[in-house]
Amino acid sequence: MQSELNRRVKPARILTIAGSDSGGGAGIQADLKTCTALGCYGMTAITAITAQNTLGVRAIHEVPAPCVRDQIAAVFEDIGVDAVKTGMLSSEAIIEAVADGLRRYKSAPVVVDPVMISKSGAALLKQDAVEALKRLLLPLSAVLSPNIPEAEVLSGIRIETAEEITRALHILHGMGPEFVLLKGGHLQAETAVDYLFDGDTITTFTAERLQTVHTHGTGCTYSAAIACFLGLGESVPRAVHLAKNYLTCAILHGMHLGLGSGTGPLHHGWNLETDINTGKIKQDS
């Protein structure tokens, strides 16, 4: 057993900077579950504490910006970071603290999920913080991963047609990220198509559209999975491809969890099967 442990390779270290979801389906909790399922080591800088479940958000309490800055510094200066993912940032002061930290430690790729509204409709980013997000954080990102409503807020245009998708990708890329991943789940289409743009080429990623209410935390999980694969050394297109496959299966398996009476969570550990007799974790086929 000891020789087996000695042979293990050190896991990719993933820092998620986001809010806490007491229901466990999104935010920090979803990110850490994703990191574990994908064989990475998850670390956190918590930006806000939310009281929520599958029915909605009851309360939000922001963590003071200096504490967010200290959490980022503590992780980078001791354990080290191979990739970063940001989620709920809530306020301009927190965005400034995050941007300061990421500028100071430049070694890891950053995936920015511009979380603005929860599945239940609660505002998770203050209106006056949007400009700070565009000005301070997008230029530091390797991947910006908005959904359609978030992309409309950031780009300032309506997004419904193929031409509008292309225009939005160009506008968002012009704000500084190396790649823009526009998630097309909100579009009216038979399949779920995402669009990855590097400034020159648009690459599409298509998956079956699953009819389910168990979609709480999809954006958090997707961006966390991308960060995991980047931390493992994959290219951005390959990381997106692998992350989308993982996410689609997590949604599919989440349909069988049946947790809560509202918008239920995904099954982040769908790919893990533990034999309680041996303690070994097997990959699901």
Does the residue 5 lie in any domain?
Answer: no
pLDDT in tens, 190-246: 788 999 999 999 999 988 777 888 889 999 999 999 999 999 999 999 999 999 999
Give the pLDDT confidence of 49-92 residue by residue, as tens digits. 999 999 989 999 999 999 999 999 999 999 999 999 999 998 99
Task: Give pLDDT, residue 119.
Answer: 60
Residue 162 domain-assigned (yes or no): yes
Query: Is the model's pTM score more than 0.75?
Result: yes
pLDDT of 126: 77
pLDDT tens-digit map of 19-31:
999 999 999 999 9
How many domains are there within the chain?
Answer: 1
Residues in the chain: 285
How many angstroms separate the CA atoms of 256 and 85, rounded?
A: 28
Does residue 120 carry a pLDDT above 70? no
221, part of any domain: yes
**Residue 6 counted as domain residue:** no
- The angle that helices 92-104 and 65-78 make with each other, rounded to 10 degrees, is 20
Could you tell me if residue 4 is inside a domain?
Answer: no
Helix (H) / strand (E) containing 27: helix 27-37
Q: At what angle do helices 218-231 and 236-254 cross, to 10 degrees?
A: 140
CA-wise closest residue to 170 among 190, 149, 144:
144
Q: CA torsion sign, 28 to 47 to 133 to 118?
A: positive
What Å distances lie between residue 255 and 206, 215, 230, 234, 272, CA to CA?
A: 20, 9, 28, 29, 17
CATH number at residue 218: 3.40.1190.20
Cα–Cα distance, 72 to 82 (Å, whole number): 13
Overall average pLDDT of the 116-130 stretch:
72
In a domain, 93, yes or no: yes
Residues taking part in catalysis: 183, 215, 217-220
Task: Judge whether 1 lies within some domain.
Answer: no
Cα R_g (the chain), whole angstroms: 18
* Closest to 85 in 3D by CA, of 168, 10, 12: 12
Contact yes or no for 189/153 (Cβ under 8 A):
no
- The token pair at 232 is 């493992």
Domain range for residue 202? 12-283
In a domain, 46, yes or no: yes
